[in-house]
């Protein structure tokens, strides 16, 4: 096999057209650099700062990235998309246009005989009770129907305000790595996933790239982000590496 590329948290669309476009172009360049070296591309959530598919309408923008993804897909690269807390509302449009496999929670798969668990990771911080409730509301089919029924002018402005508020409520200490014993994703993996004999557990969401061994067999990767760190992970068929592009 060739390899697999993992990207997360580019938050395209935020905070302005200009800043987002810089990240979008550099992300497209990264995909161009890797397209001959990969069979799989994993988009591990929060690729878009907001994405919602209405019945006949999708958010404006991102044409460079969407064009590149279409090219990769047409060339036989398998694209998986894991929903993040900003982009859990992919329904049929991107799935059919890009032939991608979408999962809002996690996927569990074998690549080259290595066992992977891949998820954005926002669902695994059990101490954040308020977010766990909000997430249930966001995932609820009735609340999705109500949101879809709102005019996009209203709906998208509500989503942007929500996103702004959750950013200003972000705790300062969360900007830094808290140590293996305090990082919720590492704790979750150690407590809940360790017995499943994964070779690799891959998360996004945390915006801090890292690679830690959490068991004899298991390596945990946090991809980081394509926002501040410009980091990504690459599986070469045997091992996985985290790189920073800057
Ligand atoms: Mn996230």
Query: In angstroms, what is the span from residue 86 Cα to ligand 1's centroid?
Result: 6
Mean pLDDT score across all residues of the chain? 94
Tokens 């996985």 sit on residue:
240
Give residue 117 CA to ligand 1 midpoint distance, Å. Answer: 17
| pLDDT given at position 130 | 86
**pLDDT score of 216 more than 80:** yes
Residue 168 reports pLDDT greater than 90 = no
Q: What is the mean pLDDT of residues 193-211?
A: 96
51-55: list long-range contacts, CB under 8 Å, 24+ apart: 51/86, 51/87, 51/89, 51/90, 52/89, 52/147, 52/148, 52/155, 52/156, 52/159, 53/89, 53/90, 53/91, 53/92, 53/93, 53/94, 54/148, 54/152, 54/155, 55/148
Distance 112 CA to ligand 1 centre (A): 28
Q: Is a pLDDT exceeding 80 seen at residue 246? A: no
**Residue 70 reports pLDDT greater than 90:** yes
Q: Ligand 1 mean position to 49 CA, how many Å?
A: 9
In this predicted structure, what is the pLDDT of residue 165?
85
Which residues lie at CB < 5 A from ion ligand 1?
A: 46, 84-85, 122, 205
Of 66, 14, 60, the residue nearest 43 (C-alpha): 66
Q: List strands edge to edge, sheet with 200-203.
A: 107-111, 114-119, 200-203, 219-222, 210-213
Cα-to-centroid distance, 118 and ligand 1 (Å): 14
Query: Residue 207 and residue 222: Cα distance in Å, rounded?
Result: 8
45 Cα to the center of ligand 1, angstroms: 7
CA of 196 from ligand 1 middle (Å) equals 24
Give percent of the chain above pLDDT 90. Answer: 88
Q: What is the CA radius of gyration of the chain?
A: 17
Q: Residue 171: what pLDDT? A: 75
Confidence of residue 167 (pLDDT cuts 50, 70, 90): confident
DSSP classification of residue 54: -
DSSP per residue, 86-147? S--B--SHHHHHH--EEESS-EEEEETTEEEEEE--GGG-TT-HHHHHHHHHHH-HHHHHHH
Q: What is the mean pLDDT of residues 37-58?
A: 96
Helix (H) or strand (E) holding 79: strand 78-82
Give the CA diameter of the chain: 52
- Ligand 1 centroid to Cα of residue 84, in Å, is 5
pLDDT at 174 over 90: no
For residues 20-43, average pLDDT: 98
pLDDT computed for residue 93 by the predictor: 96
1 CA to middle of ligand 1, Å?
30
pLDDT tens digits for range 134-162: 999 999 999 999 999 999 999 999 998 98
pLDDT above 80 for 72: yes
Single out the residue of 185, 245, 192 nearest to residue 221, CA to CA: 185
pLDDT band at 49 (very low <50, low <70, confident <90, very high): very high
Distance CA 49, CA 88 (A): 11
Domains of the chain: 3-244 (3.60.21.10)
């Amino acid at each position: 096999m060739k390899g697999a590329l993992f990207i997360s948290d580019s938050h395209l669309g935020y905070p302005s057209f200009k800043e987002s476009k810089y990240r979008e172009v550099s992300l497209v360049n990264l995909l161009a650099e890797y397209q001959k070296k990969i069979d799989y591309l994993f988009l591990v959530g929060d690729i878009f700062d907001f994405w919602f598919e209405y019945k006949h309408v999708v958010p404006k923008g991102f044409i460079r990235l969407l064009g590149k993804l279409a090219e990769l897909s047409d060339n036989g690269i398998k694209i998986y998309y894991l929903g993040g807390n900003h982009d859990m509302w992919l329904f049929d449009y991107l799935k059919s246009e890009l032939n991608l496999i979408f999962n809002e929670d996690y996927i569990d798969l074998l690549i080259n005989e290595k066992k992977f668990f891949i998820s954005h990771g926002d669902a695994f911080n059990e101490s954040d009770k308020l977010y766990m409730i909000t997430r249930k509301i966001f995932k609820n089919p009735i609340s999705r129907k109500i949101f879809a029924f709102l005019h996009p002018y209203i709906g998208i402005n509500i989503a942007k305000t929500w996103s702004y508020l959750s950013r200003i409520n972000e705790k300062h200490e969360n900007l830094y790595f808290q140590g293996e014993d305090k990082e919720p994703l590492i704790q979750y993996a150690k407590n809940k996933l360790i017995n499943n004999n994964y070779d690799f557990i891959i998360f996004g969401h945390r915006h801090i790239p890292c690679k830690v061994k959490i068991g004899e067999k298991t390596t945990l990767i946090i991809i980081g982000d394509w926002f501040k760190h410009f980091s990504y992970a690459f599986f070469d068929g045997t091992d996985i590496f985290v790189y920073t592009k800057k």
